[in-house]
Structure 1
Amino acid sequence: MSSGLIDVHAHLLPDFYVQQATAAGHTHPDGMGSWPSWSVQAHLDLMGRNGIETAMLSMSSPGVHFGDDKAARLLARRVNEYTAELIRDRPGHFGNFASLPLPDVDGALEEIAFAFDELGADGVALLTHTHGVYLGDQRLDPVFAELDRRRAVVFLHPTSPVCWEQSALGRPRPMVEYIFDTARTVTDMVMAGVLTRHPNMQVIVPHCGGAIPVLADRINEFMRLFVPAEQSPTQDAVQHLRGLYYDMAGTAFPRQVPALLKLVDADRVLFGSDYCWTPAPLADAHIAAIDAAESPAEGTTWRSLTTANAERLFSGPAR
C-alpha cells in the first residue's frame, strides 16, 4: 500500500486552454478576478512538499464547450491528449479524468471511447451542467450507459448555475454557487433514476458533497412525496448518496467533514487539493488542517484512509 496521498481533485490549466477560453469570453472565469497560473513544475513542487504521490488531473469550470460542438470536440481531444502525454512523461505522478464535449452526446461518446481505449484514461470529469443540461437530463442517458458499461470513475465538478447573473449577487460563484450547483445536479441524478439505471459507475462528488450532507434527509422526503411509485428508484435517496464517493477539497475542517461523516462512512472519503484553482499557500494550509484533524478510525490517519479508499476505487480501471 502506498503512503503518499492520491489527489482526486487536481486541475491542470495549459496555456492553449486559457487562450481559447478567454477568446470565448471567459476573462473572469466564474466571477474570479483572473485565471490562476499553472505549470507542471509548480504542480510537482506542491505535490512534493505535501506528500502527494499522484494527482488525478481534470479540467475545471468552464469546461471545453463554449457554444460550438465541433470546437468543443477539438478542444476536448487536445486537452485529453495533452494530459496523456504529461502522464507518459512523468509516470506515476499524474492520472487523467478526461474531458467530454457535453452537451454534445455523440461527441462525448466518441471521446469516451478514445480516452479509455487509446489514452488509458482513469475516468471522466463532468461539470454539474453544460449550457443548462444537468446530469439527470434524459438526453445524457447514452453517455451514462456507456460509462456504466465501462464501470468508469466519474468525477463531478461544479460550474456557475444557469441563473448566476441573479443568484450570485455579484460575488465569485465558487464561494456559494458551486456548492449548491453540486447539490442540484446530484439531486437531479438521484430523482431522475440515473444512479438506479447505471449502478456500476463510481461517482465522486467534490467539496465534501457541498450542501448534500445537510440536505440528504430533505431530498429523501421529497423524493417519496413527488416521484411516482412506478418510477421510484429501488433505493431511497440517502442510500444512493451513501454509495457515492466524496472528496475533501476546500475547507474540509473544522465543519464540512464532520457533517459529511453523518451521511457516509469514512471509506467513501477521498483526498482533494483543488490546486491550481486553490492557490498553493491555501492548498498547503488545507492539507495541514487535514493532517491535524482526528481520524475517524483508530490507528489510521486521514492520509492512510483516503489513500486506501482511492486505491480501491482505481483498482478496476475502465475498459
Structure 2
Amino acid sequence: MTDQRLIAVEEHLTTPAFLQRAHALDCYPGDRTEVRLTRAVESEDPTRSQLLDLDARLAVMDACGQDMALLSLNPPGVQPYGPADAVPLARDVNDALARIVRDHPGRFGGLATVAPQAPDEAAAEIERAKHTLGLHGIMINSHTDGHYLDEPRFAPLLQAAQAHRVPLYLHPRVPSMLAPYAAHGLSGAVWGYAAEAGLHAMRLVMSGTLDRYPDLSIVLGHLGEGIPFHLSRIDNRYAFARRVSGAATPTARLELTPGEYFRRNFTFTTSGIDDPHVLELALRTVGDDRIMFAVDAPYEETAEAVRFLAAAPLSDTQRANISHRTAERVFGL
C-alpha cells in the first residue's frame, strides 16, 4: 500500500495572546465551572506547553508518521464570553491561526473560531475565514450559553456555512444542563461531552434544520458521539412516532429518516476512540467515505492513535479514506 498520507483533524492549540485576554474575562454564569477548569488546564504543564509549542507538536507528528494536522482553538473557545469580547477575540485567533497555516504549508490547516452569540458577526467571520484567511472550516463547541444551533437565532451562521461550503465541526463541551452530570464527575469527557455533542447533533436532525440547510456539512468526533450505537433504534422510534398522534408525535415532519441525515450531512472522526469494534460499527453506519482520522491532541496520544489506525482491520480503500481522502474532500485540503 502506497497511499499512506495521514491527516488528523481535531487537534487543539492556543496562543499566548488568547490566554492573556480570555483568562481576564468574565463569562456567562452557567459557564463558570467549565471555564475555571479550562483555565487551570491551560495554565499548567504539560498541557499548556503542548497547546502552545508547535515545534514540539511537529516533532511528535514526524516521529509518528503524521503528515498534517487541522488545528483549532482549545475548547470552549470564545463561546463563554459576551459578544463584545468574543467577536474581536475570535477574529484575532483566526488571524493568528492563518499565519500558522501560512508558515507551515502542508503541515497545518485550520478550523476557524466564531462567536455564535453574535450570529451576524459569526456569519461574516465564516466568509472571511474561508475566502480571506484560507482556513478550512469552523469549530463550534456545542451550546452557547445554553442555546443550540437549531434555534432560529442562529440562522445567519448556518446560512453562511452552507453558502460558503464551510464544514462545521461540532465539538463537545460541558453539558448545558450541568447539575445531573456534576455530582460524580460525569460532566467531562468520561460521559458528559459525548452526551452533549450527541444531543446537539440530534437537535439539528430532529428539528428539521437539515431540511432547511440540506448541504450543510457537519463533523462529529469520537466516532459519532455514541449515535451509531443508537441509530437503528432512533429510526425505529421515529417511524413509530410518525404513525401515532398526540404528544409523542415529533414536532418536525422530516423529509428523511434520522439515519439518512447522518449518512448525508455528517462525517465522523476517530478522535479519542481507538477501539476497532467501535470503528467497525461506525463503518457499518456511515461508511468509510464519512470517517476521518483524528487524535484529539494534546488530550490523547498521537502515537497510540496512529498505531490504532495502522492495526485496524481495514481494506486499502478504507484505510486511505480514513487516513486522508475523506478529510481532503470534506475540508478542501
Normalising by structure 2, we get a TM-score of: 0.85
Show CA shifts across 1:165-205 (max 9, x none): 43133426122111111110000000111222112222111
Residue 118 (structure 1) aligns with: 132
Separation in 1, partners of 2:3, 2:109: 15
Aligned with residue 249 of structure 1, among 271, 276, 300:
271
Residues 152 and 202 of structure 1 are in contact (CA less than 8 Å); yes or no, is this contact kept in structure 2? yes
2:163 counterpart of 1:166: no
Partner secondary structure for residue 275 of structure 2: helix
Instruction: Evaluate the alpha carbon distance shift between residue 302 and residue 115 of structure 1 in structure 2; reply closer, same or farther with a 3 A threshold.
Output: same
The residue correspondences of 1:1-319 to structure 2 (distance < 5 A) are 3-24=4-25, 26-29=35-38, 36-37=47-48, 38=51, 39-171=53-185, 173-224=188-239, 225=241, 226=248, 231-243=252-264, 244-278=266-300, 282-295=301-314, 297=315, 299-300=316-317, 302-303=319-320, 305-315=322-332
Letter in 2 for 1:169: A
Aligned residues: 310
Separation in 1, partners of 2:331, 2:42: 35
Residues 62 and 159 of structure 1 are in contact (CA less than 8 Å); yes or no, is this contact kept in structure 2? yes
Moved more, 116-125 or 249-258: 249-258
TM superposition shift of 1:12 = 1.3
TM superposition shift of 1:34 = 6.0
Separation in 1, partners of 2:42, 2:102: 33
Separation in 2, partners of 1:248, 1:65: 24
CA RMSD of aligned residues (A): 2.3
Letter in 1 for 2:104: R
TM superposition shift of 1:304 = 5.5
Letter in 1 for 2:23: T
Separation in 2, partners of 1:312, 1:65: 28
Show CA shifts across 1:275-318 (max 9, x none): 1232xxx23112212211111x3x44635543122222234x8x
Separation in 2, partners of 1:252, 1:134: 29
Specify every segment of 5 or more residues in structure 2 that has no aligned partner in the other structure, as ranges.
26-31, 242-247
Separation in 1, partners of 2:61, 2:249: 45
Separation in 1, partners of 2:281, 2:43: 32
Letter in 2 for 1:205: L
Letter in 1 for 2:273: T
Partner secondary structure for residue 228 of structure 2: helix
Partner secondary structure for residue 295 of structure 2: coil
Moved more, 253-262 or 140-149: 253-262
Letter in 1 for 2:306: I
Separation in 2, partners of 1:114, 1:300: 35
Partner secondary structure for residue 36 of structure 2: coil
Residues 80 and 99 of structure 1 are in contact (CA less than 8 Å); yes or no, is this contact kept in structure 2? yes
Larger relative helix fraction:
2
Letter in 2 for 1:143: L
Instruction: Evaluate the alpha carbon distance shift between residue 31 and residue 15 of structure 1 in structure 2; reply closer, same or farther with a 3 A threshold.
Output: closer
Residues 216 and 241 of structure 1 are in contact (CA less than 8 Å); yes or no, is this contact kept in structure 2? no
Specify every segment of 5 or more residues in structure 1 that has no aligned partner in the other structure, as ranges.
none
Show CA shifts across 1:128-169 (max 9, x none): 111111122221122111211112211110111112243133
Letter in 2 for 1:155: Y
Instruction: Evaluate the alpha carbon distance shift between residue 174 and residue 199 of structure 1 in structure 2; reply closer, same or farther with a 3 A threshold.
Output: same
Letter in 2 for 1:27: R
Letter in 1 for 2:181: S
